[in-house]
Amino acid sequence: MSDKELFLKYGCNPHQTSARVCSKGGSFPIEVVNGAPGYINLLDAVNSWQLVRELNKALGSPAATSFKHVSPAGAAIAEPLSDELKKAYFVDKTELSPLATAYARARGADRMSSFGDWIALSDTVDVSTAKLINREVSDGVIAPEFEPKALEILRKKKGGKYAVLRIDAAYEPPIMETREVFGIVFEQTRNNGVVSREKLGEIVTENKDLPDSAIRDMIIAQITLKYTQSNSVCFAFGGQVVGIGAGQQSRIHCTRLAAQKTATWWLRQHPATLNLNFGNGVKRPDMNNAVDQFLRDDLTPAEEKVWRTLFNQVPTRLSKNDKDEWTRELKDIVLASDGFFPFRDNIDFASQFGVKHVIQPGGSIADKGIIEVCNEYDMVMLLSGLRLFHH
């Protein structure tokens, strides 16, 4: 490796045998500290780093994200965890630093999707965070720096093959970015749109009560969308993402997916879920799968047979009524969209999952009708004027 390029084993797939990454000008801003990151790892790394860097700058808090296939599965800042969330995130017996708390939240948003994730952290990685990463199934991590003992822990992960990247926190890319697809070069000004408290936009609904917690969560959701494959919708609460609907052709499908993931995140905190009695030796990934299957109603007989073997005492499933009652307790959720809402069905559906605050760019002929339906539900909606498509 030179100071301007990094040769890779292969590209997106093993048959794409020639691959490298390189800097457009100046030294390469990423140092491979351990392991051998792949092409997709590096795409995740550069996108995820931008996300946590912007969260940290906007909110002044340690930030973390869990990335999979160039979209976040979760993102968060270092807000304290409730006892229920600690148990749902499997960290109830773990001492967590602020940075580790941010990662526990980011990983906890959608633990199924975060299996084998790429991690980005805004601050120097400490021992607490390294220990948390070490026990999860993950491909690699990028951060501006690592404490020596933290680096020692991470270098032993995956038999010494865990990818650890150090990025120059002061690095700024050129204003123009290019990509080549099918021999055709695309060029554009990079997305330097700023998401901040001052630039959230105008409240257009009758309800104008926007607490600081909602402002924080709007900033988190919008910055997350900035690095999520479009179309995308993000639900946020408590200083973290709780559901992302990414890469869907229809916006209502984005909203449904984000809402359903939010419901799963919430149901993971149901007392019946928290008190699942797993058998000895059941690994954490299997626990994650078992929780997901506990909340499903459509297990095949073969899945059911395997699932039952994971418990000391096979649990009684929650009924649809149980789950609906619990979901109705959701409240004060923030919904952010990377593009405007063309139809009211998005708001109608979101209203069933505790959404109280909405932020979207606006600019549609449907804006007036969307404002009216938000008024029907006594929601607060802001029009940011900032579209956040990412491809």
Positions annotated as catalytic residues are: 68-69, 231, 391
β-pairing, 333-337 vs 176-181, is unpaired
Instruction: Say if residues 65 and 95 touch (Cβ distance below 8 Å).
Output: no
Strand partners, 243: 235
CA angle centred on 104, ends 99 and 106, rounded to 5°: 95
The whole-angstrom separation of Cα 366 and Cα 369 is 5
- Cβ atoms of residues 46 and 38 within 8 Å: no
Please check whether residue 265 is in contact with residue 243, taking contact to mean a CB–CB distance below 8 angstroms.
yes
81: DSSP letter: P
- What letter represents residue 48's amino acid? S
- Check: CB of residue 372 under 8 Å from CB of residue 212: no
- In sequence order, the 6+-apart residues with CB closer than 8 A to the CB of 150 are 125, 126, 127, 129, 130
Q: Which residues sit opposite 167 in a β-bridge?
A: 30
Q: Compute CA 2 distance to the chain's CA centroid, rounded to the nearest angstrom.
A: 33
Cα separation values, 282 from 13, 132, 272, Å = 32, 18, 18
Say how far apart CA 46 and CA 41 lie, in whole Å: 9
